[in-house]
């Protein structure tokens, strides 16, 4: 299905920043995998919160506190529905994906990963899904096993299955690779892990913004993502965890909000989800995130999928026609991310010139140094698309790259 | 020519450019023609790691003056390196330590020396000054 120009023009009008000029050019924003832009309704929701609702949540008896609490908890329900989680108390608000992974690595890790145990990650993880596991493994004396990737940027699932054994306690894997765009078969990965009694954490930072995720269908134990990559505010994320698992885990941080009773010599802890939400949370962001979810639902997930697929296909064909351009990440199942290099030109140089032309891409290792090492490259140029991008913008990128080639030849 | 005079000369050169394109073409040309650092110095010891591009730097002390050699994997970074070397090379350590590199701002390339660029250039300037400081204290 082709999307009409009119639809996209209307959608783009929802995002004030998309009409900004950069270096005298209309902005082309292709850095959506780093963070998405925000529609005006989300920006207004933050302002409206502080203008009309602001109050601390949960324990207040007064009107505003109740209103703020209701608005805050409404978002939890929206997230639950979005992920098709069984219970709203399985939704924990965090600072972001990184925070969610660290929560599990620390709380679950210290309780259930012991000396001699094994944790499996993959060669295509973001640093935030590598380093927390290195830390916990070093602390408890467990070892880290790595699932390799093939030249197309796909996980070697045969090797993965061989790595699994009764010592495997946890598998941490991304749903979609931020650097390569690969969509991993996390359902299959989870099933295999469960067969040996291991739990699975899925880094959904790049998936939740682009597709319908059903944590019950995936049978995911932990699933974590960030609000800011899906039209929501920065500094906010979600950790989904199965009720039984979350109940079996000790608190991650101590403080207000997460306690039942506090005595001078000991404390008892609140029930889920509050046990894992110490201190005053990011209330305005949580409220505005609810608006972001409403907005995306209104745009429609089928529309988002179709539009991003069209952009990916168009860009792949267009960029592939440039001589000397090599795409990294050619998985069969791929999200709207294209990582590439122009032969003989450093990614930083490409990014600098594109920036001068008003085109925002990301250059470097994208916090995935092991991927770059795997392919023997210093980094890539990455263009990542959102549903509000257009094929005309991809044409601008194409023209920009031709110009880069001329300048550096 | 003093450090100040060299800076003034570069600013004057850049005034001839009408737009950013010419400026970057010039930087690319400078980057390509920068005498490369000897392979022997392209080691971890001489590497200044940026998140985006890498810079190698070496300093030699000859006749009371410091001579810098540097390289980078990115051409635009190399172009800016060539300007920094032109200004600070063949100068006395005390002059390098005290140098205010205002020309970068004046030719509109200040962004490249911002800490957020992570291209190794800011660290390179610091490293050049450390070298100068080290030779200055050796002399004293």
Q: Which CATH number do you get for residue A253?
A: 3.40.640.10
Q: What is the mean pLDDT of residues B71-91?
A: 92
Cα A317 to chain centroid distance, Å, stands at 26
Task: Point out the residue among A346, A352, A364 whose CB comes nearest to the CB of B51.
Answer: A364
**Listed range (A7-11, A234-238, A380-384) with the worst mean pLDDT:** A7-11
Domain contains A236: yes
**CA proximity to A278, closest of A106, A86, A74, A85:** A106
The pLDDT value recorded for residue A18 is 98
pLDDT surpassing 70 at residue A333 = yes
| A345 vs B contacts (CB less than 8 Å) | 75
pLDDT digits (tens, 9 = 90+) for A238-249: 999 999 999 999
Residue A223 covered by a domain: yes
Q: Are A366 and A380 in contact (CB under 8 A)?
A: yes
Of A146-150, A213-217, A352-356, B53-57, the poorest mean pLDDT is in B53-57
Residue A88 lies in a domain: yes
A134 and A100 in a common domain:
yes
- Give the CA angle between residues A269, A275, A276 to the nearest 5°: 145
Residue A136 predicted with pLDDT over 90 = yes
Residue A237 sits in the same domain as residue A336: no
* Contact state of B74 with A408 under an 8 Å Cβ cutoff: no
Touching check for B47 and chain A: CB below 8 Å? Answer: no
Q: What is the structure's pLDDT at B116?
A: 67
State whether residue B114 sits within 8 Å of chain A by CB. no
Check A408 against B28: CB less than 8 A apart: yes
A3, A195 Cβ separation under 8 angstroms: no
Q: Which of B24, B52, B54 sits opposite A353 (nearest CB)?
A: B24
Residues A377 and A261 in one domain: no
pTM for this entry: 0.93
Residues A23 and A169 in one domain: no
Pick the residue with more confidence: B49 or A66? A66
Interface of A with B (CB under 8 A): 23, 345-349, 351-353, 356, 363-365, 378-379, 407-408
Identify whether the C-beta of residue A310 lies closer than 8 Å to the C-beta of residue A384: no
User: Which one of A245, A277, A297 terminates a domain?
Assistant: A297
* Greatest Cα pair distance in chain A: 71
A320 and A180 in a common domain: no
- The total number of structural domains that make up chain B: 1
Q: Based on the domain organization, do A133 and A267 belong to the same domain? A: yes
Average pLDDT over residues A7-14: 95
Pure H helices in A60-219: 63-83, 97-103, 109-112, 131-140, 157-163, 186-195, 215-218
- Name A122's bridge partners: A147
Which of A75-79, A170-174, A233-237, B123-127 comes out lowest in average pLDDT? B123-127
pLDDT at position A202 is: 98
Same domain as A283, residue A404: no
pLDDT at A5 over 70: no
Q: Mean pLDDT across chain A, nearest whole number?
A: 96
Cβ within 8 Å, pair A348-B54: no
Do A283 and A306 belong together in one domain?
no
Residues A214 and A350 grouped into a single domain: no
Q: Which of B25, B28, B75, B120 to mutate to test the interface with A (most CBs of A within 10 A)?
A: B75
The pair of three-digit structure tokens given for residue B71, joined into one six-digit string: 């390289």
Burial class (CB in 10 A: 0-12, 13-18, 19+), A52: exposed
For residue A344, the chain B residues in CB contact (below 8 A) are none
Q: Check: CB of residue A103 under 8 Å from CB of residue A252.
A: yes
Answer whether B76 sits within 8 Å of A363, measured CB to CB. Answer: no
Confidence class for position B109, pLDDT limits 50, 70, 90: confident
Whether A137 sits among the annotated catalytic residues: the reply is no
Chain A nearest CA to B118, separation (Å):
10
Chain A: closest CA distance from residue B51 (Å): 7
Q: Which residues of B touch A347 (CB under 8 A)?
A: 52
Q: Taking residues A294-322, what's their average pLDDT? A: 97
Element (H, E) at A92: strand A91-94
Tell which of A247, A271, A297 closes a domain: A297
Per-residue pLDDT reduced to its tens digit, A176-204: 999 999 999 999 999 999 999 999 999 99
> How do residues A93-132 score in pLDDT, each as one tens digit?
999 999 999 999 999 999 999 999 999 999 999 999 999 9
Q: What average pLDDT does range B41-60 have in this prediction?
A: 83
Pairing of strands A362-364, A359-360: unpaired
Among A348, A356, A408, beta carbon nearest to B53: A348
| Percent of chain B as helix, strand, coil, to the nearest 5 | 60, 15, 25
Assess whether A150 and A293 both reside in one domain: yes
Please identify which residue in the block is written with the tokens 């069209």.
A310
pLDDT for the residue numbered A157: 98
Residue A339 has pLDDT above 70, yes or no: yes
Quickly state the pLDDT bin for A4 (edges 50, 70, 90): low
Q: What's the rounded Cα separation, in Å, for the pair A250 and B110?
A: 49
Do A352 and B24 count as a contact with CB atoms less than 8 A apart? Answer: yes
Q: Which domain holds residue A320?
A: 5-30+300-408
Residue at a domain's end among A278, A297, A316: A297
pLDDT number for residue B110: 79
User: Does residue A38 lie within any of the structural domains?
Assistant: no
Nearest to B74 among A349, A356, A365 (CB): A349
CATH number for the domain that contains residue A378:
3.90.1150.10
In a domain, A35, yes or no: no
Interchain pair B24, A23: CB under 8 A: no
Q: Which of B20, B24, B53 is facing A346, going by the closest CB pair?
A: B53
Q: How many angstroms separate the CA atoms of A4 and A390, rounded? A: 11
Question: How far apart (Å, rounded) are the C-alpha atoms in residues A118 and A169?
Answer: 6
Lowest mean pLDDT among A1-15, A49-63, A164-178, B52-66: A1-15
pLDDT at B136 (0 to 100): 86
Number of domains present in the structure of chain A? 2
* pLDDT range class, residue A1, cuts 50, 70, 90: very low
Percent of chain A with pLDDT over 70: 99
Inter-chain residue contact A346 with B73, CB threshold 8 Å = yes
A85 and A122 part of one domain: yes
- Taking an 8 Å cut-off on Cβ atoms, the answer to whether A407 and B25 are in contact is yes
Q: Of B134, B132, B135, B110, whose CA–CA distance to B121 is shortest?
A: B110
Predicted confidence at residue A3, as pLDDT, reads: 57
Range of the domain at B120: 3-139
Q: Tell me, what's the ipTM?
A: 0.88
**pLDDT score recorded for residue B112:** 76
Q: What is the pLDDT of residue B123?
A: 84
Q: What phi and psi, each to the nearest 5 degrees, are found at residue B46?
A: -100, 5
Tens-digit pLDDT profile for residues A48-82: 999 999 999 987 889 999 999 999 999 999 999 99
Residue-level pLDDT at A30? 98
Confidence category of residue B111, pLDDT binned at 50, 70, 90:
confident
pLDDT value, residue B34: 86
- Within 8 A of A351 by CB-CB distance, chain B residues are 52
Q: Which residues of B touch A23 (CB under 8 A)?
A: 20
Nearest to A105 by CA among A205, A248, A252: A252
Is A306 in the same domain as A348?
A: yes
A364 with B52: Cβ contact below 8 A: yes
B111-138 average pLDDT score: 82
Instruction: Look at residue A39 and tell me if it is in a domain.
Output: no
Q: What CATH number corresponds to the domain at position B105?
A: 3.90.1010.10
């Amino acid at each position: 299905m082709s999307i009409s120009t009119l639809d996209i023009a209307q959608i783009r009008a929802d995002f004030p920043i998309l009409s900004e000029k950069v270096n005298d050019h209309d902005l082309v924003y292709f850095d959506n995998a780093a963070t998405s832009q925000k529609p005006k309704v989300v920006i207004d929701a933050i302002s409206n919160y502080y203008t009309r609702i602001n109050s601390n949540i949960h324990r207040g008896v007064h009107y505003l506190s109740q209103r703020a609490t209701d608005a805050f908890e409404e978002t939890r329900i929206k997230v639950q529905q979005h992920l098709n989680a069984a219970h709203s108390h399985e939704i924990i608000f965090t600072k972001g994906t990184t925070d969610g992974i660290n929560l599990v690595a620390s709380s679950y890790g210290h309780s259930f990963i012991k000396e001699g145990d094994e944790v499996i990650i993959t060669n295509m993880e973001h640093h935030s899904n590598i380093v927390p596991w290195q830390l916990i493994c070093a602390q408890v004396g467990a070892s880290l096993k790595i699932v390799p990737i093939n030249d197309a940027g796909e996980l070697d699932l045969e090797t993965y299955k061989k790595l699994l054994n009764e010592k495997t306690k946890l598998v941490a894997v991304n749903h979609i690779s931020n650097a390569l765009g690969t969509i991993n078969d996390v359902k299959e990965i989870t099933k295999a892990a469960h067969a040996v009694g291991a739990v699975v954490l899925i880094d959904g930072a790049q998936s939740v913004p682009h597709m319908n995720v059903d944590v019950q269908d995936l049978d995911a134990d932990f699933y974590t993502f960030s609000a800011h990559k899906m039209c929501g505010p920065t500094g906010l994320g979600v950790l989904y965890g199965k009720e039984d698992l979350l109940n079996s885990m000790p608190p991650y941080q101590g403080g207000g909000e997460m306690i039942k009773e506090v005595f001078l010599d000991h404390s008892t802890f609140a029930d889920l989800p509050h046990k894992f939400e110490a201190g005053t949370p990011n209330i305005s962001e949580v409220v505005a995130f609810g608006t972001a979810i409403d907005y995306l639902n209104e745009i429609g997930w089928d529309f988002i999928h179709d539009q991003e697929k069209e952009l990916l296909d168009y860009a792949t064909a267009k960029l592939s026609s440039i001589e000397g351009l090599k795409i990294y990440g050619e998985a069969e199942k791929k999200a709207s991310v294209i990582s590439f290099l122009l032969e003989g030109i450093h990614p930083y140089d490409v990014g600098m010139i594109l920036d001068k032309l008003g085109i925002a891409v990301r250059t470097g290792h994208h916090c995935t140094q092991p991927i770059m090492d795997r392919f023997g490259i210093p980094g890539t140029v990455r263009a990542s698309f959102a549903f509000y991008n257009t094929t005309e913008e991809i044409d601008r990128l194409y023209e920009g790259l031709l110009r880069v080639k001329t300048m550096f030849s | 020519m003093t450090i100040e005079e060299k800076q003034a000369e570069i600013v004057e050169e850049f005034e001839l450019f009408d737009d950013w394109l010419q400026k970057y073409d010039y930087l690319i040309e400078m980057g390509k023609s920068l005498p490369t650092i000897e392979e022997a110095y392209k080691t971890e010891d001489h590497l200044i790691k940026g998140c985006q591009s890498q810079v190698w730097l070496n300093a030699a002390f000859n006749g009371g003056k410091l001579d810098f050699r540097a390289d980078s994997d990115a051409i635009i970074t190399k172009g800016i390196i060539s300007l920094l070397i032109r200004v600070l090379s063949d100068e006395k350590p005390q002059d390098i330590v005290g140098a205010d590199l205002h020309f970068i701002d004046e030719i509109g390339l200040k962004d490249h020396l911002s800490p957020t660029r992570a291209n190794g250039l800011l660290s390179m300037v610091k490293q050049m000054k450390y070298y100068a400081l080290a030779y200055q204290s050796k002399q004293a």
